[in-house]
Amino acid sequence: MDYAVTLEFDKETENKIQEMIDEVALVTGCDYMKKAKIPPHVTVSALVSDNEEALLTEMESIATELKKDFIWFASIGIFNPYVIYLAPVMNEFLQNSCKIVNERLLQYAEVGNRGRYLPNQWVPHAAIVTKLTPEAMKEAFAIVQEKFSACGATVEKIVFARAEPYEELKEWKLK
């Protein structure tokens, strides 16, 4: 089974990002994120495991150690030609979250998503649209460009979810 560990934001940031996701989906028809009900987030780990119980137990421990923190979304990025995302500035909180989650959970799992979410191989991002057609890229980018301005976000939750299809299994509020 494929799993993801994600960081989620304060309501104001979540609403701002969700508005972009919704508008891009409406205009381009590329609505995977909306249909799958994937909330705005930054993924810090992608895993493959048959031991969900061990992963959840370890996540309980990790969630008590991580604290609420601040990130800064400074730019718009593209994984050409399929994804448009908001890019947070890499900071100590993001680096440590990725490192801790991967080190601890990979005791019970294999690396998922071709290692793209491992420390020093990871590009932190909050996807606005995925599974774009190359034709829709320019249209989607124009919408995000118009709506985006650099902003801060408070990371308030860490979430453990099944991936493809997305299903949140548990969330923890960070203190």
Its pTM stands at 0.96
Return the pLDDT at 164: 86
| Residues in CB range of 133: below 8 A, 6 or more apart | 28, 30, 81
Angle at 142 (CA atoms; ends 128, 139), nearest 5 degrees: 85
Q: Of 36, 63, 42, whose CA–CA distance to 116 is shortest?
A: 42
Return the pLDDT at 88: 98
Residues of the chain under the 50 pLDDT cut: none
The model's pLDDT over 132-141, given as tens digits with 9 standing for 90+, comes to: 998 899 999 9
Return the pLDDT at 50: 97
Q: How far apart are the first and last CA of the chain?
A: 30
Tokens 């989650």: give the residue: 101
Angle at 52 (CA atoms; ends 50, 53), nearest 5 degrees: 125
- CA-CA distance, 98 to 115, in Å (whole number)? 12
SS3 labels along the chain:
CEEEEEEEECHHHHHHHHHHHHHHHHHHCCCHHHHCCCCCCEEEEEEECCCHHHHHHHHHHHHHHCCCEEEEEEEEEEECCCEEEEEECCCHHHHHHHHHHHHHHCCCCEECHHHCCCCCCCCCCEEEECCCCHHHHHHHHHHHHHHCCCEEEEEEEEEEEECCCCEEEEEEECC
Region of 115 (left: φ > 0; alpha: ψ -120 to 50; beta: rest) is left
Going from N- to C-terminal start, the domains of the chain cover: 2-69+92-124+155-173
